[in-house]
Structure 1
């Protein structure tokens, strides 16, 4: 019987490309990056889409909500599939099939077609779960938090890089004689094709574990599941800790998604910034994923070394509470300089909270890492859905009231009133969300571990092979 834990990487040596764990780390991070790049690829072109397809304000907000809603179901499903078939095949098919709605988004002709494509494009957001499962299978307990956080953070970077990358692709398309009005369509098609190609790369250049793929190990009799080792999905969801982490991730990643998706308009409406300036600020917000999420996983590992699994929970609670305080403070600022400072602090803390969350996840149920990751990951999108729905409700009502109150005063006066109403409504929404995040920080303290859970294998144990084998359901 093979001991997979005994051959997991104990260091994140990024340039050791001969090591299958490091090679898989890079490929899964790049794949995740491309999924996020395509998932939010349409965001820089939304003004063009609104004009070309004639989207109403409600349809624009619905597209944001749909883009994060589809991911909920995909994440719940993909975690269980990873436990059964392995992350390699799951990622391969997700990239190949997920490329289809991305490509079709560039071909839509009606608002309904656009909304349907945004719903199904959201499915590629399940790539996060596979990334976390794959790095958990490749790295030892002493470094798994840092590895998970880094791969996720660099993947999340795709959600910000598209603000620079998609316009560059569009500019390249235009240089070949394509009309400016059609550039956004070609850009989406190109992003979809890249996702498809990454699916092929994933299939041929990664493997499920340091010792091989699930199907190969099962065929060789080296990875066998007994009745004792099998963990049903119903048994997994009975663990209250999973649902606390579900809420925690809703309050961290879910809020980051919503703030990221609404910040452009908020900065323009509140501080009267130009569209390009606001976009660059939001881009810098996303670029912090290069290091911020890694810091969350790193400190999670450090506190875990000092105080065991309880230490990981204490750090998670602290950084999540700090995140909420930063968002509440940002929502009340009227100065652009002060606002940007607190936006940076919010960005740093929210991404660290995400990394800290997945420094805890691998230790909840080691026999069902995929299922646990899927449920917790889905929490992020539920949080994004609820937060976006709150902001949409407040903003739509305020804008409609402003339109009625200023009807007949001219387009400029109407636009100014509408912007002010939207700014005030979103500010109130951020304020409410911030306090919900603070409450969630205290809720995280309810996560407990037994003395058996606390017996985390050390580096030496990982190297000498004294651990129990990791087995999978057949």
Structure 2
């Protein structure tokens, strides 16, 4: 089979904005950042929302679950749409339409309205799939893992940056005379408007591929017809490797979302930290995405260069197993100093595992990168959903028992017993999750590539490097 030469970037030269792949890398990373910023933008304001709307603890928890649930379905759908219509149009519509529930959140008056908006806001979490798809088709095999990991890692920063950014937006709003209790509403409206404007930037300043947009390439006969796309999607569903990576991403990104979502309370209950200190620690771990996820893609590319596609899988196995061991070790520590060491190690390895996963994804099926990215990306949210339910059930049972046993000892004793019970339950949950991650790591060894796949990647890499040298 003859290798088709494209204009993919063979190096991540971040200052070369004249290059369409590099320009796309920056725009898609910023778009992803904005989406995550808006997706989790309400989190810093939850105490205000609970007071304003009168949310019950159950409704507050359900809003978190709904936001994750909406993302699962959106990611499954958006991958297929990317294969059909291209990432440029998909991201444009996602940003503009996804901004609507973000803006509407600023106008909700009842808990039900709040929950509905949270469900639909979760759809912008599908931006991850488009980002990974777009960088996958813009960069050559030698650098695609690093590009994917870096764009995703920098985009994920939006999920941590909102802890700092949204209060700053609220403070700016208040300085214009808006009442404090209304600031969260104005902040969400502003976040939504920013997302909508970014949709226009995506439309006018990117192209689907280095050679042009899907519509132009299909009109010129340089892309397969939609019928072939549909056939390739059926092949994706039958490919066991896709479902292994689905589980793998549940075991890394899904566990990161769940662990960090419960870590504030766990650090307070288990180590006696203040809410402010615990929150700052969790924020600092989230900010590790700026380099940790890139490292996963970088080493995935390095192992791929040394050992081919099999090398990428081996590295994914090793780093995922390390993630599970670090989480289980953290769950057993009673010392804050040792706990932080293992928590830092977990943060590093879980984010590297995410980057390593998407250093493998682009090579499963070149004809359906979007569909595969969507399925694997959805795995992360499915993992987060199931792990959250698991921890919630363990914690709820333990806390209920502690309250009933200590109810006659006074309010302070009940709170102390409840806190201890919650910490013990979550600790046990973390240990079980860590074991699940290790088992998931072992399943990656079943991923196989044919000799034809290995040769095709080698030929593509040689062709891309030759073209790159000739155009430099």
Determine if the TM-score, normalized by the shorter chain, exceeds 0.5.
yes
Aligned positions of 1:83-94 closer than 5 A: 83-94=83-94
Contact 1:4/1:209 (<8 A) preserved: no
What residue in structure 1 maps to residue 25 of structure 2?
Answer: 25
- Post-superposition shift, 1:190? 1.3
Which stretch has the larger CA shift, 2-11 or 432-441?
2-11
What residue in structure 2 maps to residue 470 of structure 1?
Answer: none
What residue in structure 2 maps to residue 135 of structure 1?
Answer: 135
Contact 2:218/2:225 (<8 A) preserved: no
Aligned positions of 1:175-190 closer than 5 A: 175-190=175-190
Contact 2:267/2:273 (<8 A) preserved: yes
Contact 1:6/1:463 (<8 A) preserved: no
SS at match of 2:17: coil
Where does the alignment leave 5 or more consecutive residues of structure 1 unmatched? 467-474
- Post-superposition shift, 1:110? 2.0
Contact 1:29/1:152 (<8 A) preserved: yes
Question: Matches of 2:127 and 2:90 in 1, distance apart?
Answer: 9
Tell me the alpha carbon deviations over residues 202-224 of structure 1, each in whole angstroms, 9 at most, x when there is no partner: 11111101111111222233434
- Post-superposition shift, 1:415? 2.7
Contact 1:3/1:465 (<8 A) preserved: no
Question: Matches of 1:410 and 1:202 in 2, distance apart?
Answer: 58
Question: Matches of 2:120 and 2:370 in 1, distance apart?
Answer: 22
How many pairs align? 465
- Post-superposition shift, 1:332? 1.3
What residue in structure 1 maps to residue 15 of structure 2?
Answer: 15
Tell me the alpha carbon deviations over residues 436-465 of structure 1, each in whole angstroms, 9 at most, x when there is no partner: 001001111111111111121354311446
Contact 2:84/2:226 (<8 A) preserved: no
Aligned positions of 1:243-392 closer than 5 A: 243-392=243-392
- Post-superposition shift, 1:53? 2.3
Question: Matches of 1:231 and 1:301 in 2, distance apart?
Answer: 30
C-alpha distance 78-238 of structure 1, shift in aligned 2 (>3 A): same
What residue in structure 1 maps to residue 241 of structure 2?
Answer: 241
Contact 1:391/1:425 (<8 A) preserved: yes
Question: Matches of 2:85 and 2:229 in 1, distance apart?
Answer: 16
Where does the alignment leave 5 or more consecutive residues of structure 2 unmatched? none
- Post-superposition shift, 1:3? 8.1
Question: Matches of 2:325 and 2:295 in 1, distance apart?
Answer: 19
More helix by share: 2
- Post-superposition shift, 1:100? 1.1
- Post-superposition shift, 1:48? 2.1
C-alpha distance 272-106 of structure 1, shift in aligned 2 (>3 A): farther
Which stretch has the larger CA shift, 128-137 or 389-398?
389-398
Aligned positions of 1:196-235 closer than 5 A: 196-225=196-225, 231-235=231-235
- Post-superposition shift, 1:427? 1.1
What residue in structure 1 maps to residue 104 of structure 2?
Answer: 104
Tell me the alpha carbon deviations over residues 145-191 of structure 1, each in whole angstroms, 9 at most, x when there is no partner: 00000000000111111111111111112222222222222211111
Contact 2:145/2:358 (<8 A) preserved: yes
RMSD of aligned Cα (Å): 1.9
Question: Matches of 1:351 and 1:224 in 2, distance apart?
Answer: 35
SS at match of 1:367: helix
Question: Matches of 1:429 and 1:147 in 2, distance apart?
Answer: 34
SS at match of 2:425: helix
What residue in structure 2 maps to residue 163 of structure 1?
Answer: 163
Contact 2:229/2:368 (<8 A) preserved: no
Contact 2:83/2:229 (<8 A) preserved: no
What residue in structure 1 maps to residue 462 of structure 2?
Answer: 460
What residue in structure 2 maps to residue 436 of structure 1?
Answer: 436
SS at match of 1:29: helix
C-alpha distance 414-50 of structure 1, shift in aligned 2 (>3 A): farther
SS at match of 2:107: coil
Contact 1:7/1:463 (<8 A) preserved: no
C-alpha distance 84-448 of structure 1, shift in aligned 2 (>3 A): same
Tell me the alpha carbon deviations over residues 219-248 of structure 1, each in whole angstroms, 9 at most, x when there is no partner: 233434497776332221100000000000
Question: Matches of 1:454 and 1:286 in 2, distance apart?
Answer: 35
SS at match of 1:231: helix
What residue in structure 2 maps to residue 397 of structure 1?
Answer: 397
Question: Matches of 2:408 and 2:54 in 1, distance apart?
Answer: 23
Contact 2:6/2:210 (<8 A) preserved: no
